[in-house]
Amino acid sequence: MREALLMNLKGFSASQLQQTIDEGIASQEETILVGLGVLFEKYYNSLDTDTKQQFLQNISSLL
């Protein structure tokens, strides 16, 4: 499923990706959460240690 999602999004511009994410969130479909989780994982794993800590602090402040 991860590979299929990433292949479907390959080549998307930032605005296309934003539209896809916004529409997915607005739909409130549970299956969309899986896709967003894949994007979250990919992004999180790309961060260096300092940026990862800042990212986690930002998320923590939302909870």
pLDDT digits 0-9 by tens, 40-58: 999 999 999 999 999 999 9
pLDDT score, position 34: 82
Mean pLDDT computed over every residue of the chain: 91
Does position 11 have pLDDT exceeding 90, yes or no? Answer: yes
Residues 6+ apart with CB under 8 A from 59: none
